[in-house]
Amino acid sequence: MSRRGSNIYKRTDGRYEGRIKLGYNEKGKLKYKYVYGKTLAEVKNKMELSYTLKKTEAKAYIRLTVREICLEWLEIKKLTVKSSTYANYYRLLKNHIYPLLGDQIYCLLSKKRINSFVAELLSNGRTDGQGGLSAKAAKDVIIVLKAISSFAHREYGLENICEDIQSPKVRNTELKALSDNEIRRLSLYIKRNLDLTNLSILICLYTGIRIGEMCGLKWENVNLQEGFFVVNKTVQRITIDGESKVIVDVPKTESSVRTVFMPDFLTEMMSDFKSSPSIYVLSGLNVPKEPRMLQYRFKKVLKECGIRDFPFHVLRHTYASVCIKKGFDPKALSELLGHSNVKLTLDRYVHSSDEIKKNYVSSLLLS
């Protein structure tokens, strides 16, 4: 049994065991360090030495600045997250957290100061000095700051000052899917001006894949006989410490690695461009094109078609909306889009039209 209040136990082998609290793990459970000795006095001495060292370390911890803690957290994240995620963390720290909080002593921060920081982001947080960040951008910064605050609590036992901080409410802006007429006009233009770039736009429209996934698609992943391709890479441009580079990485989530089936007409069109396995479909080379090059070309296509200007990502929204309109099973659609759950598909990408609502209501009968 433990000696009352001492956290020292006598083991079945006759030795004594002492437990020293180190802090909390990621799940909020206590972490311990264990010391052993043949006698009770020996264990007590070892525990006293550990507590003395812990107090000395604690004095050093209370002098840490926000920047110093951020850098430690970032070094750990560098080993556990994708390059693009790390680059995003680095950007948020450099552009928003360091300028306003970086040189402040972490232990001197208060919840009032953090709330003031959030207000500063919303009122004057843009790096170009032209006003505040959007609620979504500010929320991204706060998510990172909360992760760092939790890290400081786990590793050093410092107060988790961001635990109860509220993020600004983000209003989801609904992207308007292409109309049937716009889909026809865009498809007709591409068929009449078919090249690798225009073909890639059509692939995105009729499969719903993301622009980075299109850039990362190789012919070795395309099965024209069975009418499908496998998404297992994405292309992005990232910037870290002023250095910008294009990377080919795995998709954003595990569910994003998937098999995507194509309509027959698209399979036939792709067969005319088929190349060797190592060649990227979009670039026609063994090196990929980056997403912004496809975005630039897409803007020109819209202008030449006389179609309203809209983001490339609307093609994905349009695909999802058309699939639901044609009666696709939501679970199957979720898997085709590479989502982790059906709710995400329905909430984010599927926009019910007035026509669908009218058809539903008109079919109602009174019994």
The domain spans of the chain are: 2-61, 66-156, 180-358
Q: What is the pLDDT of residue 328?
A: 86
Q: Name the residue among 157, 155, 144, 95 with its Cα closest to residue 120.
A: 95
Percent of the chain whose predicted confidence (pLDDT) is above 70: 88
Lowest mean pLDDT among 27-31, 239-243, 253-257: 27-31
| Mean of all residue pLDDT scores within the chain | 87
**Which is more confident, 58 or 270?**
270
The residue with tokens 């085709």 is 336
Nearest 10 degrees: Cα torsion 155, 159, 163, 164:
180
Check the CA dihedral 190-196-201-207 and report its sign: positive
* pLDDT for the residue 42: 87
- Burial class, 237, CB count within 10 angstroms (exposed 0-12 / middle 13-18 / buried 19+): middle
- Around Cβ 324, how many Cβ atoms within 10 Å? 20
Rounded to an integer, the average pLDDT of 69-88 is 91
Domain with residues 180-358, CATH architecture: Orthogonal Bundle (1.10)
- 351, 355, 359, 361 alpha-carbon torsion, rounded to 10°: 70
Q: Is residue 158 within 8 Å of residue 107, measured between CB atoms?
A: yes
Q: Is the pLDDT of residue 84 over 60?
A: yes
Mean pLDDT along residues 267-285:
95
Quickly name the fold that domain 66-156 has. Answer: DNA polymerase; domain 1 (1.10.150)
pLDDT value at residue 97: 96
The 10s digit of each residue's pLDDT in 312-349 is 999 999 999 888 888 888 888 888 988 888 887 777 76
pLDDT given at position 4: 44
Q: What is the pLDDT of residue 365?
A: 62
Compute the average pLDDT of residues 263-274: 94
pLDDT at 352: 56
Chain position carrying tokens 């233009």: 189
Write the pLDDT tens digit of every residue in 299-315: 999 999 989 999 999 99
pLDDT surpasses 80 at 150: yes
Secondary structure in 3-state letters for 46-78: HHHHHHHHHHHHHHHHCCCEHHHHHHHHHHHHH
Question: Can you name the residues that pair with 21 across neighbouring β-strands?
Answer: 32
pLDDT at residue number 146 = 95
**Per-residue model confidence (pLDDT) at position 2:** 46
